[in-house]
């Protein structure tokens, strides 16, 4: 059982600012709704790197796992596979396209996967509103952080 969500937005910051935020997962907790607990290997994103995180209220510790599968620095594209609680998976392909020196377009392409059978059907029903609003919220958070950093940076 699959579902796709593809939000796109214009960010009023150079593509390099957005790319730096996306490829330094140790800082994702500063703007995404996750608590990064570890990255293996540590450091900037590399193909094969796995990022371990938690989401939800502090007492729940809902475990998330992201594994980078593609990093194309020349074309500002990256891909990763994510594992969420209860067997939900996400294949995410992101792209950043410069629209000038101080603006870029960011596109998320999220393909959600659910377990087969009744369990997957129930999960999809329970999460149906978040399947579009979650990626859109992540994009909005990225946009706010990139624009904040760019506004505070000396030019």
Each residue's pLDDT tens digit, 76-135: 999 999 999 999 999 999 999 999 999 999 999 999 999 999 999 999 999 988 898 999
Among 9, 17, 5, smallest CA distance to 102 is for 17
Are the C-beta atoms of residues 106 and 96 closer than 8 Å to each other? Answer: yes
Per-residue CA distances from 106 to 15, 52, 101 (Å):
9, 24, 15
Average pLDDT over residues 39-51: 97
Average pLDDT over residues 144-154: 93
Is the preceding peptide bond at 41 cis, omega within 30 degrees of 0? yes
Q: What is the pLDDT of residue 155?
A: 67
Please report the pLDDT score of residue 60 as a whole number. 79
CB distance 27 to 17 below 8 Å = no
Measured CA to CA in angstroms, residue 82 lies from 27, 50, 149 at distances of 17, 9, 27
Q: What is the CATH number of domain 2-152?
A: 3.30.530.20
Give me the residue spans of the domains in the chain.
2-152
| Whole-number Å distance between alpha carbons of 118 and 106 | 35
Let me know the angle formed at the C-alpha of 57 by 53 and 62, rounded to the nearest 5 degrees.
40
């Amino acid at each position: 059982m699959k579902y796709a969500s593809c939000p796109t937005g214009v960010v009023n910051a150079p593509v390099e600012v957005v790319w730096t935020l996306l490829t330094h997962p140790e800082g994702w907790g500063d703007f995404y709704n996750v608590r990064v607990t570890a990255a293996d290997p540590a450091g900037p994103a590399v193909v094969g790197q796995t990022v371990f995180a938690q989401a939800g209220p502090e007492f729940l510790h809902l475990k998330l796992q992201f594994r980078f599968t593609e990093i194309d620095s020349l074309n500002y594209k990256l891909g990763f596979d994510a594992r969420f609680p209860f067997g939900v998976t996400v294949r995410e392909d992101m792209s950043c396209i410069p629209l000038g020196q101080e603006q870029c377009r960011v596109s998320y392409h999220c393909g959600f996967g659910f377990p087969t059978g009744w369990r997957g059907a129930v999960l999809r029903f329970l999460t149906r509103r978040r399947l579009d609003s979650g990626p859109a919220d992540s994009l909005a958070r990225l946009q706010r952080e990139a624009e904040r950093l760019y506004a505070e940076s000396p030019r």
